[in-house]
Chains A and B, each alone.
Chain A
């Protein structure tokens, strides 16, 4: 049996040594980890315009992702009233935290991607709930601000092989291409339909075994794209993406 004094000295020494070592390591790896996070998020945004990138996203190195983002993407932060917020950096908005705020106070990221041929694509971020936890995605619109140019989804804890297919199976986001989010000037977004598409302009096929995740995607798009309405209307009134010029 060791004395209380020895136990105290032993545990305190050990804790201090471990704490110093771990905090040292934390600061040593932090720059790399932060950069990885930035690249990861930018990749997710670029995935929505995956068909219009200089080369396939999967084969792009981290440097190329950052370069494309810096040169060809214009991030704009907006509020729920559709006003631009120049003081906020759009690529640093944490959608998870925004989701916890009251709706009126939220800030939204908006990205304008200029392809090499001069075409512009408008990328919006949406976030909602899947079966187990949060799901999120980025939707890119063509310059008519109606037709979808691409979409990418991710999730926190959906079941692999079922709900997780929204991310893992490239054919799911691919279905969104050329769908339209407006019907007769009214936002209908895009619905994930179980058991086969009935309206090919505004619906995509659901994944069997992932009905609740699919419903989550539908709800997320309906509500999330709704948040962008004031801004999209403003852009449309200006005649498309004129804000790129300022």
Chain B
């Protein structure tokens, strides 16, 4: 790792920690270049885990962590990774970080680990992460790669949370179910806790908890985003 520093040292270009370019690395994936709604990557997990907000939040944090540190690690190694096996190296790095996430969850939040079970492991196959390693970290310096990873993780997480809020609220009438701050908000579930009873006539829409609903919700999100963000509209 020290060698990388020596190699990059001769470049005298000034690189502020949070200059305009760096900020753009974080904000771009949130809107103009969102991995889910614009690049349409990582759809599989966005459909599968978004039935409830709490697991989506945990997955989002895990993806931010994996994406940021995988980008950092690959960027540090980028000049040493043999080109023929770079994809395998990227996969090893991702799989290592995902295993770390799994071990930590198992030790510190067992209930959530049980709930997410297979989806944690599936982060390895999340196309966003490998996509960023191949497209960004292999060609950029560590700090920028790290920010790019955080940005893309955030962009992914933001969509996940929006979809999960809509699905859980209208599908189950709750928010953050299973977490320490579980809210029963609308529908018959809210009657169990009379302090929060609200719109108790609402019948849960079972369609919302099925994977198909996530596809509809993401479709609508893409539509809404394009209605507001003219940059994304293909003029040709």
Contact = CB atoms under 8 A, between A and B. Distances in A.
Interface in A59-105: none
A209 interface: yes
B201 interface: no
B85 interface: yes
A168 interface: yes
Contact of A161 (B89, B100, B106, B209): B209
Contacts of A26: 103
Contact of A18 (B81, B92, B103, B104): B92
B89 A14 contact: yes
Interface of A: 1-2, 6-7, 10-11, 14-15, 18, 21-22, 25-26, 29, 32-33, 36-37, 39-40, 159-162, 168-171, 209
A22 B107 contact: no
A65 B52 CA distance: 27
B171 A161 contact: yes
Contacts of A159: 209-210
Q: Lowest 7 A-B CB distances belong to which pairs?
A: A36-B110, A2-B82, A161-B209, A32-B107, A29-B107, A160-B51, A33-B106
B204 A161 contact: yes
B114 interface: yes
A30 to B, nearest CB: 8
A169 B178 CA distance: 11
Interface string B45-62: 000000110000000000
Given A1-B84, A160-B172, A161-B208, A15 B104 contact: no
Interface in B166-204: 171-172, 177-178, 189, 192, 204
Contact of B99 (A22, A161, A168): A22
15 contacts: A1-B84, A10-B89, A15-B92, A22-B99, A22-B103, A25-B100, A29-B103, A32-B108, A33-B103, A36-B106, A40-B114, A160-B171, A161-B51, A161-B172, A161-B204
Nearest to B180: A58
